[in-house]
Amino acid sequence: MVFLALPDTESADESQLRNYFQTTLDSCRHGTLALTDGISPTVLAQQSHPDFSPIGWHLGHIASTESLWILEHLAHQPCPFPSYRTLFAADGLPKAQRQMLPSLDELLAFLAEIRQRTLAYLDTAPLANQRRLWHWLVQHECQHNETISLVMALHQTQGQTTPLGTPVATHPQKMIPTGMVFVPGNSVYLGLETKGGDIALDNEQPAHWVTVAPYQIDRTPVTCEQYYQFMAAGGYQDRQWWCDAGWRWLQTANVNQPLYWPDQEVFAAFRHRPVCGVNWYEASAYARFVGKRLPTEAEWALAASGLSAKLSMLLQTEQINCNHRLGQTTTVGLNEYAVSDYGCYDLLGNVWEWTNSWFRPYPGFEAYPYRGYSAVYFDDCHRVLRGGSWATRSWALRPSFRNWYEPHVRELFMGFRCVR
């Protein structure tokens, strides 16, 4: 998969922008199609979890969204597939009614036809005035790529096979980073400016300064070995570690380990990898167990200082575990260059990290490209996650990117680190 660095759009001409978007769209689509290799009709159309749509719906939604915003909104062309409008609209059918889908061949033809028309329009599109929407489209497909990956993982867990895969070999290292680092009180720039290509999503803006008090934060995400101590001490049975809502969830869910927990025979290979498949309730319960708490969004952002400046280099040299490069989590602290100014590892890639912050609009928020993209989730029912995972595509990976899920959700490739 090709990752082309974003040109300096303050000075880039339209030819450079056109080359960037064509290469990026092609590379991202290659990743989308690779996910469907060998997929069965059942896995394609079956809903594996009430919170997530079938894989086939995501494929159709990617094409339908591209048609809506590029061909219809920008190019002012009529909708080429009006019969698909309701089926693949985000606000169309309920998730439980999205299983009557076209075949894989029909979905792939739909994707190809829309993409052919999109690239034809790209040849003459006035990109200087449109680039934000083109960036948004790429990131939209990236996000659905990752959702397809987690739905596949859910199908695997239901089939009683581990979604973790065979442990991959990792480069030798002298020592696993441990302990916490001290972050002195400081101001942090929360969000992302439009300068540099208008890549910011609406919920990342307006960027603004926030003051953060001194704190300590874990050098790495909590590992399987560390989390096992919580499990072995009866953490899933001990009421004292759980918030009220978390305890109510636990009684209903009746679980005693993370969703993506390694089998006993391979645990040794995963013990220094981040725990994966925990929800906010599980993460906060562990934090209480060790006398800590989850970081606020601002604390996480401050700990990630320095990563934005070298992100392009880290992605091009594959110093971050993302983009399905390995297909699973890796040992924490593996890449010595992907470390923040404060000495924190794995803040980007590997696993998404829960924060203690509700997903709320930044002061002066303006919805883009439509209100339903972010604003409908500003309901104080969703917590912010940061950092990305091994399945996050490069174009949706940056320190300022905000993901959001309800506290009970554990199906994403989620982990966490703690502060005090």
Q: How high is the pLDDT of residue 158?
A: 76
> 106: closest CA among 156, 48, 45, 53?
45
**Alpha carbons 221 and 283: distance in angstroms, whole number:** 11
- The answer on pLDDT for 162 being more than 90 is no
- The answer on pLDDT for 244 being more than 50 is yes
**Alpha carbons 393 and 102: distance in angstroms, whole number:** 26
pLDDT band at residue 3 using 50, 70 and 90 as cut-offs? confident
pLDDT band at residue 379 using 50, 70 and 90 as cut-offs? very high
Q: Where is average pLDDT lowest: 4-13, 83-92, 342-351?
A: 4-13
Contact 79, 114 (CB under 8 A): no
Taking residues 138-155, what's their average pLDDT? 95
pLDDT band at residue 164 using 50, 70 and 90 as cut-offs? low
Q: Which long-range contacts (CB under 8 A, 24 or more apart) does 372-377 make?
A: 372/90, 372/91, 373/201, 373/202, 374/201, 374/202, 374/203, 375/202, 377/404
Local structure of 281: helix, strand or coil = helix
260-297 confidence digits (pLDDT tens): 999 999 999 999 999 999 999 999 999 999 999 999 99
- The answer on pLDDT for 305 being more than 60 is yes
pLDDT band at residue 161 using 50, 70 and 90 as cut-offs? very low
- The answer on pLDDT for 171 being more than 60 is no
Whole-Å CA distances, 398 to 97, 114, 394: 34, 28, 8
Sequence-separated (6 or more) residues with CB below 8 Å from residue 7: 16, 17, 20, 197
Top-confidence residue, 158 or 88: 88
**Alpha carbons 288 and 284: distance in angstroms, whole number:** 6
Per cent of the chain over pLDDT 90 is: 85
Sequence-separated (6 or more) residues with CB below 8 Å from residue 109: none
**Alpha carbons 415 and 261: distance in angstroms, whole number:** 12
DSSP letter for each residue of 223-273: BHHHHHHHHHTTTTT-GGGS-HHHHHHHHHH---S-TTPPPGGGHHHHTTS
Helix axes 14-34, 127-158, angle to 10 degrees: 10
> 284: closest CA among 235, 336, 326?
235
> 311: closest CA among 388, 393, 397, 392?
397
109-128 confidence digits (pLDDT tens): 999 999 999 999 999 999 98
pLDDT band at residue 12 using 50, 70 and 90 as cut-offs? confident
**Alpha carbons 323 and 28: distance in angstroms, whole number:** 10
- The answer on pLDDT for 10 being more than 70 is no
Q: How high is the pLDDT of residue 13?
A: 84
**Alpha carbons 260 and 270: distance in angstroms, whole number:** 11
